[in-house]
Chains A and B, each alone.
Chain A
Amino acid sequence: MKHEITLKINGQSVSAEVDSRLLLVHFIREHLSMTGTHIGCDTSNCGACTVLLDGKSIKSCTYLAVRADGAEITTIEGLAAEGTNHPIQQGFHDQHGLHCGFCTPGMIMRSVELLKNNPNPTEEEIRWGISGNLCRCTGYNNIVKAIQQAAGEMQKEKQTAV
């Protein structure tokens, strides 16, 4: 069965006719050709498919596209203006928080919500906060450092803004 959905993705409004069973991650990757959101498992364990939906990080591999009707989605492609880095992206670069890059978009999108809810997390809070996302390359030390750096930068930005 087909459904008409309309949603906003990275600030752009899109409408499409989709099957009831179409997964959001396939809608994003294959219908919209935005391939920064990845698929690493089929059980919601790895988090490579994490995107923001109405500001909350969700695993788009276990979310139906029809359910996203009316929602506002941000993927890794929409996190910062072209050619610039969000402080979390900058943190991952500066602290060598990525190797193969496959988990990176999901890890970063998850970190956005983590720092929104807890702007100044401890190492332990960061580790628990990203425990729904698997990385097989980095051993996590530098991902933790990347998020710590971003937290510092974002705090500074906030203070400057005030």
Chain B
Amino acid sequence: MFKCKTSAEVGGMGHSVKRKEDARFLHGKGKYVDDVKLPGMLHMVMVRSPYAYAKITNINKDSALAVPGVLAVITGQDLAQYNLHWMPTLLSDTQMVLPTDTVMHQNQEVCAIIATDRYAAADGADAIEIEYEPMAAIVDPFKSLDKDAPLLRPDKEGQKDNHIYHWERGNREKTDAAIAKADVVVSERIYLPRIHVASIETCGCVASYDKDTQKLLVYLTTQAPHAIRTVVALVAGHVGLSEEKIRIISPDIGGGFGGKVPVYPAYVVAIAATFLIGKPVKWIEDRSENLTNGFARDYHMDCTLAASKDGKIQAFKVKTLADHGYTDSSANPSKYPTGMFSICTGSYDYADAFAELDAVYTNKAPGGVAYRCSFRVTEAVHAIERMVDKLAHKLNMDPAMLRLQNFIKKEQFPYASPLGWSYDSGDYEATLKKAMEMVGYDDFKKEQAEKRKQGKLMGIGISTFTEVVGAGPSKDFDILGIAMFDSAEIRVHPTGKALARFGTKSQGQGHETTYAQILAEELGIPYSDIEIEEGDTDTAPYGLGTYASRSTPTAGAAAAIAARKLRDKGKKIAAYLLEVSEEDIEWEVGKYFVKGAPEKSKTIQDVVFAAYTNIPPGMEPGFEATHYYDPPNLTFPNGAYICVVEVDKETGSIDVRRFVAIDDCGNVINPMIVEGQVHGGLTQGIAPAMYEAIEYDDEGNVLNGTLMDYLVPTAVESPHWETGHTVTPSPHHPLGAKGVAESPTVGAPPAIANAIIDALSPLGIEHLDIPITPAKVWEAIQAHS
């Protein structure tokens, strides 16, 4: 385990110091976008389409403009005058800001009402008269590829059908050959439905353009403020918005989870509105708008796993159909249209794999949000972990034993995976064994055997996942061409206190505490003496933001290296102050001393003070450093989760009795925060496993677009989580750390699904797609009895 190098007072790595950011939130003084109030601010409400696919035949603004307080109605035709009615997505597709003639999904933005207050704006939205000519929507992605399916995107040059792209990785021939000659082959179509991040704060912005200074200020619910600034400059450069005149402030963010990475049309409309009107414009999304736009998942995966009869996994193949709605607005690195889906070979050692994917258009909301996972890792992990369980069932083997038999061994790292990743480190066997011991696996197995004799349905489910997080390296990863590095800038003041700024943006992860701990670790300055700032593009160094568990792997590393630059400078100053040569100076946390004479020493604070007051001749004054960190590889956090459930045969209700999560995220900065992140991710894992999915009817209507119908787990549905750790440091990260917060979201759903399906297996049930609700279980039981 990790041993702390610093005292609790200094609070470096490994200390569970309490969060520095808490006080303002506890006292109601957090500053979220909807709390921003600017003089003369107007309010914007979006009018949305009731139809999934329709021609707009007329928009009559007059009735809206007649409402007291309504100042303007903005339509697609209005934006078209400035060529702002379409915008590029991050993956070379295009998305309407506002439509000029056709709506492509239910609740698509049709026009915007600007008014003096939010009630008047809502009245205007109610009053406006819009005529539609509805058309037959394509809801089923498989039907979207039918020869006679209508062409959904005739606006795209060369687009002949509803197919967006084909992607593949691995060796098809070798994989097919391995499957053909294998003793045992299992196959399944696994569907991960559309879900929504449902952060408790919805999206929103306050855009304010000053016609005198020509500066645009936007308070925005964004996880990536710098990237957004560049996107705004690229998209709206032609109307005179230049990047040095754009300031994006991402204030306190009420949960992001990937849903606050994309650029939503209403942001652009608000910016256009303030640009034209010259007054600040606020837009705050309501919950239904939020839940019916910007989805995650929606992968239909045909999986095949092959093994020898004694249980040696030999080959994995997966063919996926991805439903992207009417445009591919995935927020992925540009060379990775399917994100990191190719991690789908999992934690197991075998040579042959092949993955392919076809993406299609339908009349649904655009998205592809990387919801608390590093771009499609959740889909990949669900596929392999379900299939390994299915294989265990077919072989009549214990799923834990099958996994232990096939794991990549710890001495095999760095491990070249069949689909091209270089896994950095792990000890999968130790992690699973720890989980088995903690849950009491053998006892549960015995209990299950007893219960089965009594006809009771009890299940034990395992998931042993490997994640891939922390993009860059910049040679492979970019967003719209911008390389995926991240940054830290440290200023240590003469009195030894510091301010550090980052290109990332916390949305609850606790960066104000953990980054201060990294600097405390490296410099010996107490974490409580270090202020952390993020989210203001005018002051923070350029970075790509916080998502895909990349903050610790990238900006955390940048902080460590920037601090080490300062430590090197401090060594020179210490040598000068102690009148010895630099080679004679040694460092221990917070102190430079003369080799062999530890009584001759200078604290970091002495040295910093000298950097401003007693500067060695020829040295640049001051004590500041910046580093832009481009990681040499991603990090590969992993874990072993075990879930125990009981299912009521009569009602189909599911009781999660135990859930044990052992995570290995390398060296831990703050164990309390890591554990908290794991808890939260686990609840976001049980959510899609048992409760959440965005449902559509045949006409493309969303059937559960409110929190009354879309079942976000409460404290009652959320089990009492049990957590633990193994520590296998990342060999290439300066702190040996990996990302963590997405592991539980990725790892929990298959553990829960495997447990429920294991419970139902005596009835002959071999697979159920998530969410596995009591109704679904009840129906399956009826069909099998």
Contacts and interface: CB of A to CB of B under 8 A. Distances in A.
Given A43-B706, A96-B676, A101 B716 contact: no
A27 to B, nearest CB: 12
B26 interface: yes
B32 A102 contact: yes
B4 interface: no
A116 B29 CA distance: 25
B322 to A, nearest CB: 25
B200 A135 contact: yes
A117 interface: no
Contacts of B720: 123, 141, 144
B335 interface: no
Contact of B201 (A29, A33, A40, A42): A40
A102 B200 contact: yes
Nearest to B744: A139
B29 A138 contact: no
A76 B28 contact: yes
B507 interface: yes
B28 to A, nearest CB: 2
Contacts of B286: 42
Interface stretch (A1-9, A63-71, A125-133, A152-160): A125-133
B681 interface: yes
B255 A100 contact: yes
A141 B254 contact: no
Contacts of B682: 139
B35 A96 contact: no
Contact of B676 (A80, A104, A142): A142
B288 A42 contact: yes
A40 B287 contact: yes
Contacts of A16: none
Contact of A39 (B27, B34, B681, B708): B34
B82 interface: no
Interface residues on B, range: 35 or more
Contacts, number: 182
A140 B718 contact: yes
A138 B744 CA distance: 12
A41 to B, nearest CB: 4
B200 A77 contact: no
A42 B292 CA distance: 14
A127 B21 CA distance: 26
Interface string A37-52: 1111111011010000
Given A41-B706, A43-B708, A128-B716, A139 B34 contact: no
Nearest to B21: A101
A93 B30 contact: no
Given A102-B255, A138-B676, A131 B200 contact: no
Contacts of A77: 27-29
B736 to A, nearest CB: 23
Given A42-B286, A92-B22, A100 B37 contact: no
A35 interface: yes
Interface string B667-681: 000001101111111
A128 B508 CA distance: 25
Contacts of A30: 37
B681 A98 contact: no
A38 B202 CA distance: 11
A15 interface: no
Contacts of A133: 714
Contacts of B118: 26
B712 interface: yes
Interface in A95-148: 96, 98-105, 108, 123, 126-128, 130-144
A40 to B, nearest CB: 4
Most chain B CB inside 10 Å of its own CB: which residue of A130, A131, A133, A136: A136
A89 interface: yes
Contacts of A142: 676, 679
B406 interface: no
A131 B715 contact: yes
Interface string A10-45: 000000000101100010011001111111111101
A40 B202 CA distance: 7
Nearest to B682: A139
B679 A105 contact: no
Contacts of B26: 76, 85, 89, 92-93, 98, 101, 104, 108
Interface residues of A, number: 58
B508 A137 contact: yes
Contacts of A29: 34-35
Nearest to A129: B715
A138 B672 CA distance: 12
Contacts of B202: 40
A57 interface: no
Contacts of B708: 43, 45
Contact of A131 (B35, B252, B509, B714): B714
B257 interface: yes
Nearest to B721: A141
A94 interface: yes
A134 B508 contact: no
Contact of A34 (B23, B28, B287, B678): B28
B253 interface: yes
B201 A102 contact: yes
A89 to B, nearest CB: 4
A60 interface: no
A35 B35 contact: yes
B29 A36 contact: yes
Contacts of B19: 93, 96
B95 interface: no
Interface in B244-292: 252-255, 257, 284, 286-288
Interface in B1-42: 18-19, 21-32, 34-35, 37
A85 B749 CA distance: 38
Contacts of B37: 30, 33
**A-B residue pairs, 6 tightest by C-beta:** A36-B28, A101-B25, A102-B254, A100-B508, A139-B679, A99-B508
8 contacts: A39-B284, A77-B27, A101-B254, A101-B508, A103-B254, A137-B255, A139-B682, A139-B718
Interface of A: 19, 21-22, 26, 29-30, 33-43, 45-46, 48, 75-77, 80, 85, 89, 92-94, 96, 98-105, 108, 123, 126-128, 130-144
Interface of B: 18-19, 21-32, 34-35, 37, 118-119, 197-202, 252-255, 257, 284, 286-288, 507-510, 672-673, 675-684, 706-708, 712, 714-716, 718, 720-721
Given A34-B28, A127-B714, 20 more contacts: A36-B28, A41-B706, A43-B706, A43-B707, A46-B707, A99-B255, A100-B25, A102-B32, A102-B200, A104-B26, A126-B715, A134-B200, A134-B707, A135-B200, A136-B257, A138-B679, A139-B676, A139-B684, A139-B721, A141-B679
